[in-house]
């Protein structure tokens, strides 16, 4: 099969396309013929081994010390079940499925445990649309509901509202009953409004462009923002929730948990199968919709990674493996 490959960490140019053997199917595995995959900010981070210094060793231990243990990148996938192991009960060949794993999705075939994050694709979605969902939607749910503990009627400001996580954060926050403001480039304002945001702010204005003390939750999907700079926008016990963080934010999380002022919160999203089933239900009900900012062929994997590295990705960068982009 054809797959994207990188055997060392580095810039997008470490990636190439190769012919590799089909992944084998264990007794409890499902082999998926991948019709669409994506390049997420997470894929680009692993490829470039970009993590805060204190996380670099654990991340290398998890993915491979000198180069990735699994050389095929890619987390999100959508396609159809091509083969199942002898003990598989939940899936059958020919079924349309989508899901998320850690590596291996930027290839024509992928093998995954039937109990991992893989679910039937709602009939209303194309493969490309389904592939554009899990990373952003699972992150938005985990950070708004579990980390921020958002309650109906609260006011949320989403920083990076047009990005892979941001487009779902706007929709999930609305679904949870919040008043939502999105911050993005002027060129993405219409998109963020169309996702249901009550207000949209231009990122050029920075923190000065928003009303002081107005927000209960600041969901921060951008890199390099500082709590000190955005803190004045938070209500007295507001939460600045960081998706991308380092030791500074971890220390701030510890000391702001004691005081009476605004707090810092950090966390991680997980590839949870039950959560993904919940997301599939929300897609089927029309509560969530995917945003595809760009489509690439697998042969254009380097170009797709360059777009993600630019920090200007809009929604998802989808890799179309069977349908024309």
Ligand X SMILES: NC(=O)c1ccc[n+]([C@@H]2O[C@H](COP(=O)([O-])OP(=O)(O)OC[C@H]3O[C@@H](n4cnc5c(N)ncnc54)[C@H](OP(=O)(O)O)[C@@H]3O)[C@@H](O)[C@H]2O)c1
Q: Tokens 């923002």 sit at which residue?
A: 225
* Site for ligand X, residues 42 to 81, rule: CB under 6 A: 42, 45
For position 222 contacting ligand X by CB under 6 A, the verdict is yes
- For residues 91 to 130, the per-residue mask of contacts with ligand X, x marking binding by CB under 6 A and - elsewhere, is ----------------------------------------
Report the C-alpha gap between 58 and 44 in whole angstroms.
17
Provide the 8-state DSSP code for 86.
Answer: T
CB of 221 vs ligand X, minimal distance in Å: 4
- For residues 269 to 288, the per-residue mask of contacts with ligand X, x marking binding by CB under 6 A and - elsewhere, is x-------------------
- Identified binder of ligand X from the candidate list 26, 223, 250, 303, rule CB under 6 A: 223
Stretch that binds ligand X, among 19-27, 63-71, 147-155, 180-188 (CB under 6 A): 180-188
- Contact predicate 53/8, CB 8 Å: no
Among 185, 174, 179, 213, CA closest to 199: 179
CB nearer ligand X, residue 111 or residue 139: 139
Report the C-alpha gap between 50 and 285 in whole angstroms.
37
For position 40 contacting ligand X by CB under 6 A, the verdict is yes
For position 162 contacting ligand X by CB under 6 A, the verdict is yes
Burial of 48 (0-12, 13-18, 19+ CB in 10 A): middle
Stretch that binds ligand X, among 110-118, 220-228, 233-241, 252-260 (CB under 6 A): 220-228
How many residues touch ligand X under the rule CB under 6 A: the total is 29
SS (H, E, C) 124-155: CCCHHHHHCCHHHHHHHHHHHHHHCCCCCCCE
Stretch that binds ligand X, among 73-81, 90-98, 116-124, 307-315 (CB under 6 A): 307-315
Pull the structure tokens for residue 145: 């509901």
SS (H, E, C) 239-250: EEEECCCCHHHH
DSSP letters, 158-177, are: EETTTSTTHHHHHHHHHHTT
* Site for ligand X, residues 225 to 264, rule: CB under 6 A: 243-244
* Site for ligand X, residues 125 to 154, rule: CB under 6 A: 139
Binding residues (CB under 6 A) for ligand X: these are 40-42, 45, 139, 159-160, 162-166, 183-185, 188, 203, 221-223, 243-244, 268-269, 308, 311-314
């Amino acid at each position: 099969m054809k797959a994207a490959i990188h055997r060392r960490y580095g810039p997008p140019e470490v990636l190439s396309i190769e012919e590799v053997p089909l992944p084998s199917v264990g007794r409890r595995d499902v082999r998926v013929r991948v019709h669409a995959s994506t390049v997420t900010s997470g894929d680009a981070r692993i490829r470039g081994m970009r993590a805060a210094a204190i996380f670099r060793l654990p991340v290398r231990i998890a993915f491979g010390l000198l180069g990735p243990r699994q050389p095929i990148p890619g987390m999100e996938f959508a396609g159809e079940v091509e083969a199942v192991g002898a003990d598989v009960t939940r899936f059958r060949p020919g079924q349309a499925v989508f899901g998320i794993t850690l590596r291996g999705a930027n290839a024509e075939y992928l093998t995954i445990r039937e109990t991992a994050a893989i679910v039937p694709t709602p009939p209303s979605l194309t493969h490309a649309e389904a592939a554009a969902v899990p990373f952003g939607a699972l992150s938005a749910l985990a950070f708004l509901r579990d980390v921020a503990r958002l309650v109906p009627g609260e006011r949320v400001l989403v920083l990076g509202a047009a990005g892979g996580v941001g487009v779902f954060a706007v929709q999930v926050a609305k679904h949870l009953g919040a008043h939502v403001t999105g911050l993005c480039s002027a060129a993405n304002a219409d998109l963020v409004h169309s996702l249901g945001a009550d207000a949209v702010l231009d990122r050029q204005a920075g923190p000065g462009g928003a009303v002081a003390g107005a927000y209960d939750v600041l969901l921060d999907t951008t890199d390099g923002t500082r709590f000190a700079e955005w803190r004045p926008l938070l209500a007295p016990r507001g939460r600045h929730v960081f998706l991308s963080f380092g030791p500074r934010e971890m220390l701030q999380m510890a000391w702001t948990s004691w005081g009476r002022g605004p707090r810092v919160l950090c966390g991680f999203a997980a590839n949870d199968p039950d959560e993904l089933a919940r997301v599939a239900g929300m897609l089927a009900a029309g509560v969530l919709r995917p945003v595809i900012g760009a489509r690439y062929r697998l042969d254009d994997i380097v170009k797709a990674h360059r777009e993600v590295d630019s920090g200007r990705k809009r929604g998802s960068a989808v890799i179309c493996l069977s349908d024309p982009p």
